[in-house]
Amino acid sequence: MEGHPYGYNIPISEKTKEVPWEEKVRVYEEVKSDFRFKEFLFGCLNCGVCTASCPSNRFFDYSPREIVQRFLEEDVEVIYDMMHEYIWACSQCFTCWIRCPFVNNPGGLVIIMREVAVRNAFEATKDLLKPYGRVLLKVMTTGNQLSADMLQPDFFPDWGPKMQDNMENIRAKRMAIPFDVGKSVKTAWEVSLETAIEMYTIWRETGIFEMLEKLDPNLYNVIMDIVEENEERWEELMEEEEEE
């Protein structure tokens, strides 16, 4: 299919065309089998109020109405194709959700699609999330998603000259934050080791480490080195405490 008679006119990519139909159906069914799917998709008038108020629609070739319509039409081919790049334009603001008269949640459908895309290690997803690796490293190992040491001025020249000034003598400035657990450069606040250890258990038990391994094996190795090091440190501390 080359585009759609109305609305979605993005040609199906050659890569998608080459994928066996059964594989596309499998991925489609994986999205549909998510327990949230039935809570996010209802009827659709095609009124377009979601797309009219969508911030991403203003700057990307992206329409939440199309997400809803393609699912309602069970358009396996287009859904599969959307899951490679299209869905990553969504800002996850959920303006579409609050405005839809049928309470459809296109942003919610997108998050299911993204999760399935990562779980299936789609190549486009790997490329798209490459620059996001620093956030993944931080959140998976410390339980914080942002820290002062991630905000390097050379990475954010567009934030202006004050940014450069802010980051000078960063350790002392972070210590001048007037509450104890905030005095940290490598994390947003000091996360206790036992808390991080509990979080590692959650990642293991819920398959998040496996997702990461498929997404970026190098990043996964770096993360696992830190995780294992912290786990060893924790065990040593426990042993020391027992001896005491």
Partner 1 sequence: MGHGKSPYLRYADPEPFPILNKHSHYDHLFEEMHELEEKGEILVYRITEENKPVEVFTRTGRIKTVPTAKLWHHKSCGQCGNIPGYPASIFWFMNKFGYDYLNEPHQTSCTAWNYHGSGTSNPVALAAVWLRNMHQAWKTGYYPLIHCGTSFGSYKETREQLIFNKELRDAVKPILKKLGRLTEDGRIVIPQEVVHYSEWVHAVRHKIAELYEKEGKAKGIDVSNVRVAIHNACHTWKMMADDYPYDPEVYNGQRPAASTAVVKALGAQVVDYSTWYDCCGFGFRHILTEREFTRSFAIQRKLKVIAEEIKADLIVTHDTGCTTTFEKNQWIGKAHGMYHPVAVMSDVMFAALACGAHPFKVVQLYWNCSNYEPLLEKMGITNWKELRKEWEDTVKHIAELEKEGKYDELMEFFKEYDLYEPYSRTSDGFKRRRSASADMPLFKS
* Footprint of partner 1 on 43-62 (CB under 8 A): 53, 55-56, 58-60
Q: Which amino acid is at 81?
A: D
Nearer to partner 1, 1 or 193 (CB): 193
* Residue 156 contacts partner 1 per CB under 8 A: yes
DSSP string, 204-243: HHTTHHHHHHHH-HHHHHHHHHHHHHHHHHHHHHHHHHHH
Could you say which of 37, 42, 49, 97 contacts partner 1 (CB under 8 A)? 97
Sequence length of the chain is 244
Cβ distance to partner 1 smaller for residue 19 or 170: 170
Residue (77 or 149) nearer to partner 1, CB: 149
- Radius of gyration, CA atoms only, the chain: 22
175 binds partner 1 (CB under 8 A): yes
Write each residue from 102 to 131 as x if it is in contact with partner 1 (CB under 8 A), else as -, in one continuous string: ---------x--xx-xx------x---x-x
HSE-up (13 A, CA, CB side) for residue 35: 0
Residue recorded with tokens 């501390």:
237
Q: How far apart are CA 186 and CA 189, in angstroms?
A: 8
Q: How far is the CB of 228 from partner 1 (least distance, A)?
A: 13
Among 68, 100, 212, 223, binds partner 1 (CB under 8 A): 212
